[in-house]
């Protein structure tokens, strides 16, 4: 799908030939003398339209307007969140009506957040999964014009929004693939393809190399599967070589059966989404590769299946992690932390400014925060604040959770340095405390996306979260890195 940004007032928008035109109508809407203004003003006056987000009114070939259909969409105060709701409703109402060419009109002084939300919501709502359908009927939308009063002011924000939307979609597509397609090997191939397309450095290690390095914990999880593990290392260099990178670590369990501590069969299919963290790292590289900001970025993806087998790791088995710490695996279903801990130790070699791991880690996080906010854990307050702000701005929010040492009590083992599970209470925090033992050498944050990476039920499917959050955070890291002065013309927010 092509997105373009254009300067158009309402009279200009009325002259745009397209299959559908969405006009966002805010509470502050000031009608002009053009046909679109008249339509919206009359609809408001007749109470057939309200400026409330989610309220819609469709018109077919209205007089004086070139578009075949017009959708008037209330957008409240016109801020990002309301615009997102409005565009979601409007584009949703046009699904399966054959609209190929769409204009979305943001009248008045649209904010950067509104433009970002319009792009994100259009891409999200029009996405159609077809990869494993025999008669693929894909997305109808082909070209989307975002019309604003002053396109010049929005160019940077618009390009970022478009790249982020592409990254989200890339992550969704990978996330939605079933486990017999999205194998660790396939993830490795996708990483290589990304690297080729964007000039990134990419290395993909296999079982022998990973065992040789000493990743005994990661190796233990993978050993019950016929699918060979992969450890993916991606590097993007947009700043001078010596500048410390941000490292993203994504959990890439392509199927989590639980292993010997096997899961109940109800909804087990959803454990194909257990590579959502990995998908979000790849999606983020997709966006960063397009935008080429002045930062250095490393992506690490430990990927394997968690399966029961005669060769599987068993409850009570003790393994040696790359850090040297021994781990008693009391529950083979707490496998995410076992593959992440070795990747977190591996991250030390990059002398990172920050390491952020992203993982569908605990059912307990779903209980705590539901599907609205991802769980955020951080050892560094600045990093935590930046991620919280990025999440809110990108409408991909997270919420900070505690890391008190008392939560680590339950991880004590009589036979190893640490156990991989504690009690059920505070499960999301217990898991984070386990990871923290391996992340002591740099500022660290952990995003538990178990509740946000996919939707269940009728709308079952990957969301692509938290690509939006990560891209926004990373773009904000330009200039902030190692005190380099701001680029000329770049706007910096006061701290
Ligand atoms: N991938 C799951 C977490 C998960 C479960 C995400 C349900 C979304 C929905 C993870 O590997 C897991 O199984 N965690 C266990 C940990 C427990 C054994 C301590 C869990 O949450 O039940
Ligand atoms: Mn599990
Ligand atoms: Zn898992």
Q: Is 8 a residue whose pLDDT tops 70?
A: yes
| CB-proximal residues (5 Å) to ion ligand 2 | 256, 333, 335
User: Residues near 335 by Cβ (< 8 Å), separated by ≥ 6?
Assistant: 221, 253, 256, 259, 306
Catalytic residues: 263, 337
Question: To the nearest whole number, what is the mean pLDDT of the chain?
Answer: 96
Q: Check residue 19 and give its pLDDT.
A: 98
pLDDT of residue 490: 44
Q: Would you say the C-alpha torsion 357, 359, 363, 368 has a positive or negative sign?
A: positive
Say yes or no to pLDDT of 223 above 70.
yes
- Each residue's pLDDT tens digit, 127-144: 999 999 999 899 999 999
* pLDDT value of position 136: 85
pLDDT tens sequence across 39-52: 999 999 999 999 99
Which residue among 333, 418, 426, 446 has the greatest number of ligand 1 atoms within 8 angstroms of its CB, and so is best to mutate? 333
Number of Cβ atoms within 10 Å of the Cβ of 236? 25
**How high is the pLDDT of residue 492?**
43
Strand partners, 191: none
Helix (H, G, I), strand (E, B) or coil at 57: strand
CB 313 within 8 A of CB 220: yes
For residues 207-232, average pLDDT: 99
Distance separating alpha carbons of residues 334 and 446, to the nearest angstrom: 16
Spell out the residues 6+ positions from residue 45 whose beta carbon is closer than 8 angstroms to its own. Answer: none
- Pocket around ligand 1 at a 6 A CB cut-off: 256, 274, 331, 333-336, 360-364, 366, 421, 427, 450
Taking the C-alpha atoms of residue 208 and residue 211, their distance in angstroms, rounded to an integer, is 5
The answer to whether 328 and 318 are in contact (CB under 8 A) is yes
CA atoms of 127 and 134, how far apart (whole Å): 18
pLDDT of res. 485: 57
Which CATH code fits 2-150? 3.40.220.10
> How close is the Cα of 341 to the center of ligand 3, in Å?
14
**How far is the centre of ligand 1, averaged over its atoms, from the C-alpha of 416 (Å)?**
22
Q: What is the pLDDT of residues 225-276, one digit of tens each?
A: 999 999 999 999 999 999 999 999 999 999 999 999 999 999 999 999 999 9
Within 183-258, where are the H helices?
A: 184-198, 207-213, 216-222
pTM for the predicted model, two decimal places: 0.97
Fold for the domain defined by 165-482: Aminopeptidase (3.40.630)
Exposed e or buried b for every residue in 340-368, given b needs 16+ CB within 10 A?
bbbbbbbbbebebbbbbbbbbbbebbbeb
At 439-470, the pLDDT tens digits run 999 999 999 999 999 999 999 999 999 999 99
Q: What are 211's two structure tokens?
A: 């065992």
Question: Which of 255, 269, 278, 362 is the pocket-test mutation for ligand 1 (most atoms within 8 Å of CB)?
Answer: 362
Q: Where are the domains of the chain?
A: 2-150, 165-482
Ligand 1 atom closest to the CA of 253, numbered from 1: 1
**483 or 318: which leads in pLDDT:** 318
- Whole-number pLDDT of residue 487: 52
For the stretch 328-367, pLDDT in tens is 999 999 999 999 999 999 999 999 999 999 999 999 999 9
Residue located via tokens 């999964």: 129
- Contact between 247 and 356 (Cβ < 8 Å): yes
- Total residue count of the chain as it appears in this document: 495
Residue nearest to atom 5 of ligand 1 (CA): 363
């Amino acid at each position: 799908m092509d997105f373009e940004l254009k300067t158009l007032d309402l009279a200009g928008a009325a002259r745009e030939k397209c299959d559908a035109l969405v006009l966002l109508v805010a509470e502050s809407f000031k009608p002009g003398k053009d046909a679109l203004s008249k339509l919206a003003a009359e609809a408001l006056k007749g109470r057939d339209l309200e400026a409330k987000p989610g309220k819609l009114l469709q018109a077919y070939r209205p007089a004086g307007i070139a578009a075949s259909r017009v959708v008037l969409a209330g957008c409240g105060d016109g801020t990002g969140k309301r615009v997102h709701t409005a565009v979601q409703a409007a584009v949703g109402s046009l699904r399966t009506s054959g609209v190929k060419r769409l204009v979305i009109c943001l009248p008045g002084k649209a904010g950067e957040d509104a433009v970002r939300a319009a792009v994100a919501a259009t891409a999200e709502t029009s996405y159609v999964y077809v990869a494993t359908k025999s008669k693929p009927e894909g997305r109808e939308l082909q070209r989307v014009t975002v019309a604003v009063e002053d396109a010049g002011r929005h160019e940077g924000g618009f390009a970022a929004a478009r790249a982020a939307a592409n990254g989200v979609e890339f992550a969704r597509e990978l996330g939605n693939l079933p486990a017999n397609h999205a194998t660790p090997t396939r993830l490795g191939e996708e990483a290589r393809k990304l690297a080729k397309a964007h000039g990134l450095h990419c290395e993909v290690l296999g079982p022998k190399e990973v065992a040789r390095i000493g990743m005994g914990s990661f190796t233990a999880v993978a050993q019950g599967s016929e699918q060979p593990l992969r450890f993916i290392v991606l590097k993007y260099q947009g700043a001078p070589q010596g500048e410390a990178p941000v490292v993203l670590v994504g959990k890439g369990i392509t199927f989590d059966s639980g292993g010997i501590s096997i899961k109940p069969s109800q909804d087990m299919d959803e454990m194909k989404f257990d590579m959502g963290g990995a998908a979000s790292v790849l999606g983020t590289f997709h966006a960063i590769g397009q935008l080429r900001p002045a930062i250095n970025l490393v992506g690490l993806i430990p990927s394997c299946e968690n399966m029961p087998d005669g060769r599987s790791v068993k409850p009570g088995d003790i393994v040696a992690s790359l850090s040297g710490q021994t781990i008693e695996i009391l529950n083979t279903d707490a496998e995410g932390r076992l593959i992440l801990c070795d990747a977190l130790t591996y991250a030390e070699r990059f002398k990172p400014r920050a390491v952020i791991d992203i993982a569908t880690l605990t059912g307990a996080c779903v209980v705590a925060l539901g599907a609205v906010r991802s769980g955020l854990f951080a050892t560094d307050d600045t990093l935590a604040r930046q991620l919280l702000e990025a999440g809110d701005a990108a409408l991909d929010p997270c919420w900070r959770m505690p890391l008190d040492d008392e939560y680590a009590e339950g991880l004590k083992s009589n036979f190893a340095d640490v156990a991989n599970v504690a009690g059920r209470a505070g499960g999301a925090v217990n898991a984070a405390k386990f990871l923290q033992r391996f992340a002591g050498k740099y500022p660290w944050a952990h995003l538990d996306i178990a509740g946000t990476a996919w939707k269940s039920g009728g709308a079952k499917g990957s969301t692509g979260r938290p690509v939006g959050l990560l891209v926004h955070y990373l773009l904000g890291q330009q200039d902030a890195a190692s005190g380099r002065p701001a680029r000329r013309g770049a706007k910096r927010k006061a701290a």
